[in-house]
Amino acid sequence: VAHLPYLRENPAGWVTETWYCRSGCRRYFTIERNTATNEIRDTEAS
């Protein structure tokens, strides 16, 4: 089984994600999210 399409790391803590503003500006952008608390922050914060 190939790793990329089927398996993802799922760390507790800050991860970098791509979000998509579907109902708004249609931009894809990078954001950081804490998987334990669902806090989000700008990538510049790190």
Partner 1 sequence: MTDNRLPERAGEVIDRGTSLAFTWNGQGYTGYQGDTIASALASSGVEVFARSMKYKRRRGIMTADHWDPNLFVQVGDEPNVRAGSRRLIAGMEVSAQNVWPSLKFDLGAANQMVGRFLSPGFYYKTFMRPKWFWHNVYQKVLRKFAPGGRIHWETSTHGAYDKRYAHPDVLVAGGGPAGMGAAIAAAEAGASVMLVEHEPELGGHLRWGGADDLTAIAELVSAVESHPSIEVLTDSTVTGRYDHNWIAVMQRSHEIAPERLIKARAASLVVAPGLIERPYIFAGNDTPGVMLSGAVRRLINLWAVKPGTKAVVLSANPEGEAVLADLESAGVEIVAALDVWAGEDVVEVEGKGRVAKVVLGDGRTVSADLVVIGTGWTAPTSLLNMAGDRPVYDPSAARYFSNHLPDNVLATGGITGNGTTAELIAHGRATGSLAASRALRSRHDRRVLASRARNPEGPKPESLQDTRVPLARVPHPECYRSSTHGMVDLSEDVSSKDLVQATKEGFDSIELMKRYTTVTMGPSQGKLETVNAAAVLAEARNMDMVDIGTTVWRPPYAPISLGALAGRIFEPIRRSALQDWHEAHGASPLLAGQWVRPDHYGDPVGESRNVRENVGIIDVTPLGKLDLRGPDVTKLLELVYVNKWQKLDIGRVRYGAMVAEDGVVSDDGLTGRLGEDHYLMTTTSSGAGAVWELLEDYLQTYRPEWDVHVTAVTGGLTSINVAGPKSRDLLLRLAEGVDLDSEAFPYFHVRRGTVAGVADCIIWRIGFTGELSYELHVPSGHALHVWESLLANGEDLGIKPFGVESQRILRLEKGHYIVGQDTDGLTKAPSAGLGGLVKLDKPDTLGLPELKAAYSRTDLPILVAIQPDDPQVVPMEADQIVHGDSNRILGRITSSRMSPTLGRSVCLGLVDPSLSAAGTTITILLIDGRRVTGTVQEHHAHVDPEGVRQNA
Quote the CA–CA distance of 34 and 41 in Å, as a whole number. 9
Residue 27 binds partner 1 (CB under 8 A): yes
Amino acid present at 30: T
Residue 45 binds partner 1 (CB under 8 A): no
Number of residues that bind partner 1 (CB under 8 A): 13
Residue 10 binds partner 1 (CB under 8 A): no
Kind and range of the H or E run holding 40: strand 40-41
> What residues line the site for partner 1 (CB under 8 A)?
2, 4-6, 18, 20, 22, 26-28, 37-38, 40
